Structure 1
Amino acid sequence: MYEPKDNNIYYPPLPQEPPVTTGIPIQMAGMPSLQVQSQQKVSWSTGLCGCCDDVGNCCITCWCPCITFGQIAEIVDRGSTSCGVSGAIYLLLMLTIGCNCVYSCFYRKKMRSQYSLSSSPCNDCLVHCCCESCALCQEYRELKQHGFDMNIGWQANMENRGQGQAVLPPNVQGGMIR
């Protein structure tokens, strides 16, 4: 290293060779440690059996779950699939193989990921297989709680909010930080 000639001038040390990449995390001298914070899971705004909060939607979901599922899927997919297409796929699966819950449980998982929701009362596929109507009603109410008008679809919700862009889930600090 170079010795400073003048006490008022600081000469930073020369950069060191970076260590060989091994895939094992290490702490380099002089580098701040990066701590990945775990994403805090929040509870659902209503319970699985909270159908009394929205009796109209509960009735529609009991008699024609493909409508409720289509509305949920359009919002969760942020408009990339329409309500009609998602509802038709759901109905087709329900009428042909009777296993529509497998399709809808993936949307519950995607929605939980977007809004950092806990997996309660149990895992997504089990909730949909055992209580499909209640699960769809809960997801519908949750999206309404997040400010969506479920009857107008994704595009109209974005226009009403004065944005032309997607509504992002809450910003949670974590991952790679500079």
Structure 2
Amino acid sequence: MYPSAPPDAYNKFSAGAPPPAPPPAPYLQQPMSAPRPGGGLTRWSTGLFHCMDDPGNCLITCLCPCITFGQIADIVDKGTCPCLAGGSLYALICASTAMGCLYSCFYRSKLRAQYDIEEGECPDFLVHCCCEYFALCQEYRELKNRGFDLGIGWSANIDRQNRGVAGAPVMGAPAMPLGMLR
């Protein structure tokens, strides 16, 4: 009553191995980085366009990027360039030449070198020239995710680390010392 199907109609691959899977789309592939002698490079903890992971910093950076830059410069320079000096110099460069991105690009490269972070798909100068505010927000989040409180500066972060305080107290809870407790 019904026509019979050929023997391999339901099993297309009965005569051999199945075809290989198609290669992933280029935008899904991860960038390759050159391995370092002591280990591989790490990735940024957040993406370039993940500004809303920290909406407060996003707002401050949009309104006054010199504040965010000053906080980043203070931590990256390990206190030798205070927040006020770094932010003021950045604001002066932006106001006089509109090329603050070249100055901030230097700090992005320095940050990547300190923490062995891969450059990514675009060079640092291009990221800062095309996406200045996004880059500043990403660098801020990176330092914050590495345990720095950028609002208090380098010396206060070092004092906090020397006291053994891992992070800010949560809802008034007392700080717990690091290490093994019994």
Same fold, TM-score > 0.5, yes or no: yes
Distance (whole Å) between structure 1 residues aligned to residue 74 and residue 121 of structure 2: 24
Q: How do 1:58-77 residues align onto structure 2 when only pairs under 5 Å count?
A: 58-77=58-77
Aligned pair count reads 128
Unaligned runs of 5+ in 2: 1-35, 164-182
Distance (whole Å) between structure 2 residues aligned to residue 38 and residue 124 of structure 1: 23
Does structure 1 residue 55 correspond to structure 2 residue 55?
yes
Distance (whole Å) between structure 2 residues aligned to residue 82 and residue 112 of structure 1: 20
**Residue deviations 1:111-144 (CA, integer Å, cap 9, x gap):** 0000000101311000000000000000000000
Contact 1:39 1:116 in 2 (8 A): no
Does structure 1 residue 92 correspond to structure 2 residue 71?
no
How does the TM-score come out when normalised to structure 2? 0.68
Unaligned runs of 5+ in 1: 1-35, 164-178
SS at match of 2:162: coil
Displaced runs of 4+ in structure 1, greater than 4 A? none
Partner of 1:152: 152
Partner of 1:116: 116
Q: Give the CA deviation at 1:110.
A: 0.3
Distance (whole Å) between structure 2 residues aligned to residue 101 and residue 39 of structure 1: 30
Between the aligned residues of both structures, percent identity stands at 55
How does the TM-score come out when normalised to structure 1? 0.70
Distance (whole Å) between structure 2 residues aligned to residue 55 and residue 103 of structure 1: 24
**Residue deviations 1:11-30 (CA, integer Å, cap 9, x gap):** xxxxxxxxxxxxxxxxxxxx
Q: Give the CA deviation at 1:40.
A: 1.2
Distance (whole Å) between structure 2 residues aligned to residue 77 and residue 117 of structure 1: 17
Q: What value does the CA root-mean-square deviation take over the aligned residues?
A: 1.2
Distance (whole Å) between structure 2 residues aligned to residue 121 and residue 71 of structure 1: 26
Partner AA of 2:99 in structure 1: C
